[in-house]
Amino acid sequence: MSSCSYTLFASLCLTLLLLLSIQCATASNIGQGYRLISTEKTSDGGLLGHLQVKQKNNVYGADISLLQLYVKQETQNRLRVHITDATKQRWEVPYNLLPREKAPLKKQAIGRLTKNPLKVQEFSGSKLLFSYTADPFSFAVTRKSNGQTLFNSSSSGSNDFGEMVFKDQYLEISTQLPKDASLYGLGENTQPHGIKLYPGDPYTLYTTDASAINLNTDLYGSHPMYLDLRNVDGKAYAHAVLLLNSNGMDVFYRGTSLTYKVIGGVLDFYFFSGPTPLDVVEQYTDLIGRPAPMPYWAFGFHQCRWGYHNLSVVEDVVENYKKAQIPLDVIWNDDDHMDGKKDFTLNPTNYPRDKLVPFLEKIHSIGMKYVVLIDPGIAVNSSYGVHQRGIANDVFIKYEGEPYLAQVWPGAVNFPDFLNPKAVDWWGDEIRRFHELVPVNGLWIDMNEASNFCSGLCKIPRGKKCPTGTGPGWICCLDCKNITKTRWDDPPYKINASGQQVPIGYKTIATSAVHYNGVLEYDAHSLYGFSQTIATHKGLQGIQGKRPFILTRSTYVGSGKYAAHWTGDNQGTWENLKYSISTMLNFGIFGVPMVGSDICGFYPQPTEEICNRWIEVGAFYPFSRDHANYYSPSQELYIWDSVAESARNALGMRYKLLPYLYTLNYEAHISGAPIARPLFFSFPDYTDCYGVSTQFLLGSSLMVSPVLEQGKSEVTALFPPGTWYSMFDMTQAIESEGKYVTLDAPLHVINVHLYQNTILPMQQGGMLSKVARMTPFSLIVTFPAGASNGEAKGTLFLDDDELVEMKLGNGYSTYVHFYASVNHRTVKVWSEVEDGKFASDNGWTIEKITVLGLGGSGHPTNLEIDGEPVTTASKTEISNLAHKYLHNLDDKKTSVMVEVKGLDIPVGKNFAMSWKMGLSL
Ligand SMILES: *[C@@H]1O[C@H](CO)[C@@H](O)[C@H](O)[C@H]1NC(C)=O
Ligand SMILES: *[C@@H]1O[C@H](CO)[C@@H](O)[C@H](O)[C@H]1NC(C)=O
Ligand SMILES: *[C@@H]1O[C@H](CO)[C@@H](O)[C@H](O)[C@H]1NC(C)=O
Ligand SMILES: *[C@@H]1O[C@H](CO)[C@@H](O)[C@H](O)[C@H]1NC(C)=O
Ligand SMILES: *[C@@H]1O[C@H](CO)[C@@H](O)[C@H](O)[C@H]1NC(C)=O
């Protein structure tokens, strides 16, 4: 079965295909490809061409005879290649959900056919070059600066893949890849081999409620994007490729090639030229939307579980955190607060409004927040206003003209169609009504893949009692028939849905169900959670007038513009702790930087040791939340004394770092830069870190190196070249040429190191972000250890986090650039402040400046602030301590840490400080 190329034996082959569709599909050439028959320049500077199928066959349906090719250099560093049916409009990701330049509509007549198009043509932008071969048609994208081929769909000379295929329900295209390219992305997927895509592992993209414990499986989100990092003679070049398509797809990565097999839509490629990984996410989020600004409190610690039976349990949890002196900003409810698990309701017995509202007033008064869950499925219940108003407004997805019936937690439900503008308005109105009932501070949208406990076409059974929101109720109780009658329910090519090639309508909305304007669920399936996220964002913005906070399980390209994400249902095991790092880092690349995993695992419960290690990692997730299943025993951080101690250490550090995390949130919002990053983002030239999946960076220079194995009290971590300082004891330095260093890591210790040339803004921490953010600042300045010359810099963003927009220039924000230098023995630290009024109005001051890595062993003298000598009469104290080296390249080298404290420097004004280091004795 090695070849099914179109031959005289095509019909035999087709029969075999039907019998053995899988084997044949992965190893064969399905068609002879297309021939380019015309090209012309468009008025907007693009290139328009037509492609004619070379030889039709019926494998997976008939080929589309004539295609339109449109190529556009959209920006200096972004190239688009769009291929669709030349005569018929096809499904594309809706332009209102993901705003972007329109591709030209199909042309009625094909003018100016060039009979003999050139064999090789080029179409050049400033960074990327598009070239093609006419017959059979293939295209390539080249980096102009070094001539490297980034993408090449030509199958000539390849045994791995065949020519481009374009049928109604089967699109196939491939690229060659150099074998030393490192690829990242293509999620959502739990990747047992770490963050780097692994040749031979399957990557299927189709939003599915398959728990995150399933490896190499299509999970909750769909992100058909990969970042490709290559090293050419020691220098790194990164670029990214997005195939903007919402239909289900299998992606086969073989190491030297990659093939997309997509079951609908169009081939809409975007190429981003990089060349650094940070450039790539900047360019990517420029297209898909910059990450949402998060409120300050979102960076605090969150506690949740399914099974907080009543309000007094929630009150106890809050109280116990306080008693244990563990920071807590946000308390959550899963669905326990609901009446019969119905959205936007309160359980009158366990969460009575007259008790819940005073509780919320109490926690809100100290700055704590409250977030609850909602699901998209709206209970079918004649006494339930939300459903009644939904019916009245005709907001639900339809099957044969009736609202499509499914089963989720409350029992029988209908699913709102968020592609329908009326449904978006109705949803916003329900959020407003709920907010009047319960002043929640954010919403958690779950089960939005969409998850369904049944499959197919269902009816409410007669004479059988189904769960109505009490009891487990995840076993389908409706009377259902599988739907196999349409080609949407049973497409000719089967993606590896749920990792088991189940029918694509399995346990979700039937794929022949219909949305607004006749859109098929088949096409829009993976956009369901994304469309709900946009509607929820609109609703929250409308009523609160405040920056919305949304946590969503299902995501698509562009979700990060509206919401945070957690990695779904995981287990309290060492493996799951490890996997959480790769998934988190991938979401940073996907433009969803506010991400974390359920700390200590969702189900089953962790051991005490795992929970210790997990909070040590989780304290440094951008989104830090402990969450557990109904059937798990309690795992709040105070349950075990040892976990409480680890939590105080790790979260204590997080709360001191909040100004840094919040500044990273601002950077993410203006440039897409991930908050948590793989090491290669800061050290792209250093190939040893390309596969590191057990450590990560926060921003560019804070590195977290956790223990991820049982029984260990040491961790061996990679230190890219340069000097690194321990955040828990700043006298400790590691000078690395780029090697693995073994660090002590007893149970309560998490290793966090700060890289050279950085200025890190910190505050004094506390039990609540609102309190912590009003404490005095300190600055940590790092130089390469012992250097007599060096520079460092850092930034700090402060704003009123209630405001919807996060930006400068509105009178409610301040941005500070910090700089430092050491030149021979003169040390300088200074700031340049933009829009200082907000910081000045809040009275923020810098109390301490700590400079690490100064050469020699001398004492500081001649301290000056803004040109004035600091006298001994002032309360300023200056001291120095020698660094201890865990790893030292030059044994004789000495260096000191200098700390200047008792300062009272306004954050909102420029300052300059200097001193001289005395000669070493
Ligand atoms: C694309 O691949 C084909 C076949 O290997 C090769 O002939 C062609 O030169 C490549 N094009 C580019 C731009 O690398
Ligand atoms: C709340 O639930 C807990 C645990 O189920 C139970 O022990 C307690 O009696 C309940 N309290 C109230 C006020 O219902
Ligand atoms: C409708 O909701 C009410 C209130 O929660 C509940 O008592 C009733 O059982 C529900 N009816 C159905 C048919 O689910
Ligand atoms: C419906 O399809 C699912 C998935 O293929 C299968 O497990 C189930 O048995 C089918 N149900 C019926 C009633 O045929
Ligand atoms: C489908 O995915 C599962 C889980 O990764 C994998 O074991 C299986 O080999 C895949 N099947 C195919 C046909 O790709």
Would you place residue 113 in the very low, low, confident or very high pLDDT band (cuts 50, 70, 90)? very low
Inter-residue contact 820 to 851 (CB < 8 Å) = yes
Separation of CA 679 and ligand 5 centre (Å): 30
886 Cβ neighbours under 8 A, 6+ residues apart: 732, 733, 734, 741, 743
Residue minimizing CA distance to atom 5 of ligand 2: 309
Name the closest-CA residue to atom 12, ligand 5: 496
Q: Which residues of 709-732 are buried (b: 16+ CB within 10 A; e: fewer)?
A: eeeeeebebbbbbbbbbbbeebeb
Give distance in angstroms: CA of 457 to centre of ligand 5: 27
Q: To the nearest whole number, what is the mean pLDDT of the chain?
A: 94
Residue 107: the pLDDT is 60
Residues 618-670 pLDDT 10s: 999 999 999 999 999 999 999 999 999 999 999 999 999 999 999 999 999 99
Residue 319 phi, psi (nearest 5): -65, -40
Q: 528 C-alpha to center of ligand 5: Å?
A: 24
- Write the single-letter amino acid at 835: D
pLDDT digit string, tens, across residues 416-434: 999 999 999 999 999 999 9
> The pTM is what?
0.96
Q: Which tokens belong to 808?
A: 């400068």
Residue 44 annotated as catalytic: no
More confident residue, 919 or 86: 86
Q: What is the pLDDT of residue 788?
A: 87
Give the residue, by CA position, lying nearest to ligand 5 atom 13.
Answer: 496
Per-residue confidence (pLDDT) for residue 108, from 0 to 100 = 43
Torsion-angle region of 737 (φ positive above 0: left; ψ -120 to 50: alpha; else: beta): alpha
Q: How far is CA 750 from CA 301, 572, 897, in A?
A: 17, 19, 22
Ligand 2 center–CA 307 separation, angstroms:
11
Closest ligand to the CA of 497 = 5
Picking from 868, 816, 862, the residue whose alpha carbon sits closest to that of residue 837 is 816
AA letter at 265: G
Closest among 824, 209, 156 to 498, alpha carbons compared: 209
pLDDT class of 322 with cuts at 50, 70, 90: very high
pLDDT at 920: 62
Q: What pLDDT is recorded for position 595? A: 99
Cross-strand bridge partners of residue 372: 333, 443
- Give ligand 2 pocket residues (Cβ under 6 A): 309-310, 312-313
Per-residue confidence (pLDDT) for residue 14, from 0 to 100: 44
Ligand 1: does its nearest atom lie under 6 Å from the Cβ of 156?
yes
Find the range with the poorest average confidence among 234-243, 258-267, 857-866: 857-866
Q: How far is the CA of 433 from the centre of ligand 2 (A)?
A: 28
569 is known as an active-site residue? yes
Contacting residues for 861 by C-beta, under 8 A, at least 6 apart = 915, 916, 917, 918
Active site residue 449: yes
How far away, in angstroms, is 482 Cα from ligand 4 center?
A: 6
pLDDT for 106? 63
pLDDT at res. 469: 72
Which atom from ligand 1 is nearest to the alpha carbon of 140?
13
Judged against a pLDDT cut of 90, whether residue 20 lies above it is answered with: no
| pLDDT confidence bin for 297, thresholds 50/70/90 | very high
In this predicted structure, the answer to whether residue 111 has a pLDDT above a threshold of 50 is no
Which of the ligands is closest to the CA of residue 218? 5
Amino acid identity, residue 916? K
pLDDT confidence of residue 123: 83
Give me the catalytic one of 282, 446, 521, 616: 446
Of the chain, the end-to-end C-alpha distance in Å amounts to 80
How much is the pLDDT for 464?
Answer: 83
Task: Report the residue among 310, 336, 630 best suited for mutation to probe ligand 2: largest number of ligand atoms under 8 A from its CB.
Answer: 310
> What is the model's pLDDT at position 472?
67
Q: Average pLDDT, stretch 886-897?
A: 82
| Confidence (pLDDT) at 1 | 29
What integer is the mean pLDDT of 517-529? 98
Both tokens of 429, joined, read 């109105």
pLDDT value at 328 more than 50: yes
How far is residue 793's CA from residue 817's CA, in Å, rounded to a whole number? 7
**Overall average pLDDT of the 267-276 stretch:** 98
What pLDDT, on a 0 to 100 scale, did the predictor assign at position 466? 82
In this structure, what DSSP letter does residue 468 have? S
Ligand approaching nearest to the C-alpha of 316: 2
Compute the distance between CA of residue 256 and CA of residue 233 in angstroms, rounded to an integer.
19
Residue 44 or residue 7, greater confidence: 44
Q: What is the pLDDT of residues 664-715, one digit of tens each?
A: 999 999 999 999 999 999 999 999 999 999 999 999 999 999 999 999 999 9
* Tokens found for residue 105: 């509509």
In this prediction, residues 714-736 reach a mean pLDDT of 97
State which of 452, 453, 482 you would mutate to test the pocket of ligand 4, scoring each by most atoms of that ligand within 8 A of its C-beta.
482
Nearest CA to ligand 2 atom 1: 310
Q: How far apart are CA 563 and CA 561, in angstroms?
A: 6
pLDDT 10s digits, 439-493: 999 999 999 999 999 999 999 999 888 877 776 678 999 999 999 989 999 999 9
Residue 12 scores a pLDDT above 60 = no
What pLDDT, in 10s, does the model give residues 363-410? 999 999 999 999 999 999 999 999 999 999 999 999 999 999 999 999
- Model confidence at 856, pLDDT cuts 50, 70, 90, reads confident
Q: pLDDT > 70: what percent of the chain?
A: 95
What is the 381 CA–ligand 3 centroid distance (Å)? 6
Rounded to an integer, what is the distance from CA 494 to the centroid of its chain? 28
* Of 173, 134, 151, 158, nearest in space to 54 by CA: 134
Q: Which of 132, 137, 154, 158 to mutate to test the pocket of ligand 1 (most atoms within 8 A of CB)?
A: 154
